[in-house]
Chains A and B, each alone.
Chain A
Amino acid sequence: MSSVQRRSFLKTTASVAAVSALPAARLDAQEAAPAATVVVVHGKDIPKMLAAGIAKLGGWEAFIKPGNKVVLKPNVAWNSQPEQGGNTHPDLIKACVLAAEAQGAAAINIPENTCHPEKATFKASGVEEALKGTKARLYRPAKEDYQKVEIPRGKIVKSADVPKDVLACDCLINMPVAKSHSATTLTLSMKNWMGSVSNETRRSWHRDGLHQCIADFSTFIKPKLIIIDATRIMLTKGPQGPGDMAVPNELILSTDPVAADAYAATLFKKEPFDIGYIKIAQEMGVGCGDLKRIKIERVEV
């Protein structure tokens, strides 16, 4: 064996060894560094809880710049009262709107395709009252307020009707309420988009495979921030209720919708991957739903 041969042999062996060691090293790194962070704020004063959670994520300036067009997507779908947990808590929506105003947002739109007549719903939910005096605009999109968009990475959903305001905004914040759901077991942040798209779109999702469709849409819609209202949660009879309630007194904040949903599922004593859309969304690369790889930062207010 010549020295040249020996050298090349050693080189090759070394590089093969290095390459084969790489995945293991990457795995180790993954175990060490979490793929997503979820901030869980526990307390009773919703505005203070929100402020504390946002501070953990770098403050509002990380999300809203002066002159931004902001869109909030709470869940205000049902003609039910705040304590019933059918809708996002009005205090939380108000706190977000006030923060956006303080950041100098140019517009704050809250398009919501309600399930009950919007007039009764906005009133009973307490949201209309909470938004009085702010510049937020809460409305139910009419046909002309929607725009059909392509969902390039969707397996089933190839296109969807999305409110124009949602498409045109600078900062999109998804702020659902966590609750049980007749069809999908739980409704969390990714499921919340069904209250944004048109009736035609959401009906087709029911026909075509609900969990896959919800995950498909999540490959397209990119909220900057997810705030899940788990101050009180409807354990049964969701999404409309009234049902049995629990009071975790938590707000769940994250920039990763899959991680936020995965943590929220644990409040209902569910395995995240038992919820179809969480599992599919992780497989499609929307985010991380594996609790072992999610860093949970707890804040007490």
Chain B
Amino acid sequence: MFTRRNLIRLLLLVACALLALGYVPEAWRPQSVLLPSLSPLLNLGGAAARHAAGAGVLLALPLLILPLFKGRAFCWRLCPMGFAAESVSRLNRRNAGLVRKVPFIGKGLALVMLGSAAAGYPVLLWTDPLCLFNGFFAAWRAPLAWASGATALGFVLILLTSLLAPNLWCHRLCPLGGLEEWLTQLGNRFRPARTPARPDAGIAGNVKVGRRVFLGFAAGGAAGLAYGKLKPGSARAAAFIRPPGAADQAFNALCSRCGNCMTACPYDLIVPDLGASGIDGLFTPVLKFRNQNSAQEQFCFQDCTACTHVCPSHALRPLKVAEKQQTAIGLARIDKKACIAWEKGEYCVVCQEFCPYQAIIESDHKKVKCPTVDEDKCRGCGACESQCPAQPIAIVVAGRNPQPRLAHPSPALLKE
């Protein structure tokens, strides 16, 4: 068991787990995007659906090219999820025959995922093994442990299938494995001499394979379109706040629930949603500002873009600081009845003091300055909500989905 090959796999697994957990030097933290970005399903699928391709899409190339020449070498030699599943499979040697009876569901899944992504509404992105692996470890770092535990479930389920039949996941269920299998077959077509003849290697076989691929894509496309048209639930756009850079459309579909953004947030503001964004938005990231007596920031700091750079499926677009400061993730609202200035006539306007965007206008009332929100300037960062001394809190941010780009320049940027 402890061969050199397995040692490399083990080291890789540990490294990926540490990255996903965020237990690495701070400068390396953004690299948590690397592992899930390797999956063409997440990376290219997300980019296709969002029409947003950065240099990050190049990370998907190795897993598109490698199988053409080396078959499923990634699955058997590198994949940390595969290694975990295989290790558990060693506990159970029974039911090996079952694997042969089960159809290769993963091959169909891969086609459906890519087809629906091409149609603009990717489905089942969250079944990607690299995202499930990542989500398991990220769950330990997310602020709401019990809810984020759901993202950890996929990893556990995969290990359970390994107890059902050895390597059932890798051989039959994994969509990334399925994609690798398709590409292996494609590679074999160009090198028929090096691989043993297969029953479907002839022309008739090629037609059959081609038809299957077409049908898979078409089914995915249809599912994607249907999903786009018949989106379940009718989530109130103001009820939840997305991290900055969130896709305007199909966010719930684009998000792979890998948990990277939740781990990346230095202020632990991003938590899994429990239904505010709709039933299809379960466990997608939402921001929760806090108003506690802790010496830690509890609002979306204007100079921070950490979460936007770790999303493998482009559900969150990478933002520069200037872009982030132009993006309104929400809008603050004042409850005058609870406000210390409006209601009690006391000197306060802590909201104005802390607002990085100078979005609190003052007006005189009861001889003290009273706050009003300037809707053209408010970015919904939550600085006001996190600092409001009133009990109950008198200023609360509501989400803005889609997130508007504000024309008003950010004063925080004027200094540059």
Task: List residues of chain A with CB under 8 Å of any chain B CB.
Answer: 79-81, 84, 113, 115-117, 120, 140-143, 181-184, 198-200, 203-204, 206-211, 237, 239-242, 276
17 extra interchain contacts, Cβ-Cβ under 8 A, other than A183-B350, A210-B348, A241-B411? A79-B301, A84-B415, A116-B301, A120-B301, A143-B294, A182-B362, A183-B347, A183-B353, A199-B294, A203-B293, A204-B389, A207-B389, A207-B390, A209-B346, A209-B347, A237-B358, A276-B347
Contact B389 A183 (CB under 8 A): no
Interface size of B by CB at 8 A reads: 32
Query: How many angstroms between the C-alpha atoms of A276 and B356 in the bound complex?
Result: 26
Q: Are B293 and A200 in contact (CB under 8 A)?
A: yes
| Residues of A with C-beta under 8 A to B362 | 182
Residue of B nearest to A184 (CB): B347
Contact A207 B391 (CB under 8 A): yes
Closest CB-CB distance, A226 to chain B, in whole Å?
23
Q: Does any Cβ of A come within 8 Å of B76's Cβ? A: no
Chain B residues contacting A84 (CB-CB under 8 Å) are: 415
CA distance in complex: A120, B412 (Å): 13
In the bound complex, do residue B353 and residue A239 qualify as a contact, i.e. CB atoms below 8 Å apart?
Answer: yes
Q: Which of chain A's residues has its CB closest to B416's CB?
A: A81
Inter-chain contacts of A209 with B (CB < 8 A): 346-347
**CB proximity to A under 8 Å, residues B372-412:** 387, 389-391, 411-412
Binding site for A on B (CB under 8 A): 266-267, 293-295, 297, 301-304, 340, 346-350, 352-356, 358, 362, 369, 387, 389-391, 411-412, 414-415
A80, A211, A240: the one contacting B354 at CB < 8 Å is A240
Query: Which residue, B302, B340, B348, has most C-beta atoms of chain A within 10 A?
Result: B348
Residue numbers in A under 8 Å from B340 (CB-CB): 206-207
| Cβ contacts A to B, 11 pairs, < 8 Å | A116-B297, A142-B295, A143-B294, A182-B349, A199-B293, A199-B295, A200-B293, A206-B350, A206-B389, A207-B391, A240-B355
Chain A residue numbers with a CB within 8 Å of B349 are 182-183
- A206 with B369: in contact, given A113-B295, A183-B353, A198-B293 (CB under 8 Å)? no
CB-CB under 8 A from A276, the residues of chain B are: 347
Q: For B352, what are the chain A residues with a Cβ–Cβ distance below 8 Å?
A: 182-183
Q: How far is the CB of A100 from chain B (nearest CB, A)?
A: 25
Asked if B346 and A210 make an inter-chain contact with CB atoms under 8 angstroms apart, the answer reads yes
Q: How far is the CA of A242 from the CA of B412 in the complex (A)?
A: 7
The reply to whether A117 and B353 form a contact with Cβ atoms under 8 Å apart is no
The 8 nearest A-B residue pairs measured at CB: A203-B389, A206-B389, A200-B293, A182-B352, A210-B347, A182-B349, A199-B293, A183-B347
Tell me which residues across on chain B come within 8 A of A203, comparing CB atoms.
Answer: 293, 350, 387, 389
Contacts of B356 in A (CB 8 A): 240
* Chain A positions within 8 Å of B411 at CB level: 237, 241-242
Q: For the complex formed, measure the closest distance between the CB of A245 and the CB atoms of chain B, giving whole angstroms.
A: 12
Report the minimum CB–CB distance from B283 to chain A (whole Å): 27
Closest residue of chain A to B341 (Cβ to Cβ) is: A183
Bound-complex Cα distance A203 to B390 (A): 8
Least distance between A108 CB and chain B CB atoms (Å) = 21
Minimal Cβ-Cβ distance residue in A for B346: A209
Flag if A80 contacts B415 (CB, 8 Å). Answer: yes
CB distance from A300 to the nearest CB of B (A): 31
- The answer for the CA separation of A88 and B105 in the assembled complex, in Å, is 64
| Nearest CB of chain A from residue B386's CB, rounded to whole Å | 10
Partner of A117 from B297, B387, B412 at Cβ < 8 Å: B297
**When chains A and B are docked, how far (Å) is the Cα of A200 from the Cα of B293?**
5
Q: Please, which residues of chain B bring their CB within 8 A of the CB of A200?
A: 293
CA of A242 to CA of B390 in the docked complex: distance in angstroms? 26
Rounded to whole Å, the gap between the CB of B270 and the closest CB of chain A is 16
Given A183-B348, A240-B356: A79 and B303 interface contact (C-beta under 8 Å) = yes
CB distance from A53 to the nearest CB of B (A): 29
Q: Among the interface residues B340, B346, B353, B358, which one has the most CB atoms of the partner chain A within 10 A?
A: B353
How near does chain A come to B385, taking the closest CB pair, in angstroms? 13
Chain B nearest Cβ from A251, distance in angstroms: 24
CB of A242 within 8 A of CB of B347, answer no
A227 to chain B, nearest CB (A): 24
Is the Cβ of B347 less than 8 Å from the Cβ of A211?
yes
Note all chain B residues with C-beta closer than 8 A to A140: 295
Residues in B with CB closer than 8 Å to A241 are: 411
Tell me how far the C-beta of A117 lies from the nearest C-beta in chain B, rounded to whole angstroms: 5
CA separation between A115 and B352, bound complex, in Å? 13
- Rounded to whole angstroms, the CA-CA distance of A239 and B356 in the bound complex is 11
The complex places the Cα of A127 from the Cα of B355 at a distance, in Å, of 23
Contact B350 A120 (CB under 8 A): no
Asked whether A115 and B293 contact (CB < 8 A) given A203-B389, A204-B389, A242-B415, the answer is no
What is the minimal beta-carbon distance from B90 to any residue of chain A, in angstroms? 45
Of listed A140, A181, A183, A198, residue having the most chain B CB within 10 A: A183
* Minimum C-beta distance from A187 to chain B (A): 10
| Shortest Cβ distance from A146 into B: residue | B295
Closest-by-CB residue of B relative to A145 is B295
Most chain A CB atoms below 10 A, which of B294, B304, B340, B415? B415
Interchain CB contact under 8 A, B301 and A117: yes
Residues of B contacting A211 in the complex (Cβ-Cβ under 8 angstroms): 347
Nearest-neighbour CB distance to chain B for A215, whole angstroms, equals 13
* Shortest CB distance A297–B (Å): 33
Scoring A140, A240, A241 by chain B CB atoms within 10 A of each residue's CB, the highest score goes to: A240
CB distance from B352 to the nearest CB of A (A): 4
Residues of chain B with a CB closer than 8 A to A208's CB: 346
Q: Which residues of B contact A242 (CB under 8 A)?
A: 411, 414-415
In angstroms, Cα B293 to Cα A141, docked, is 12
Cα distance A198–B295 in the bound complex, in angstroms? 8
Give CA–CA (A125, B415) in the complex, Å: 12
* Distance in Å: Cβ of A155 to nearest Cβ of chain B: 15
Find the A residue at minimum CB distance from B414: A242
Give every chain A residue within 8 A of B369 (Cβ-Cβ).
182-183
In Å, the complex CA distance between A181 and B354 comes to 11
Q: How close is A218's CB to chain B, nearest CB, in angstroms?
A: 17
> How far is B415's CA from A237's CA once the two chains are assembled, in angstroms?
14
A204 to B362, CA, bound (A): 22
Alpha-carbon separation in the docked complex, A140 to B294 (Å): 11
A121 CB to nearest B CB, Å = 10
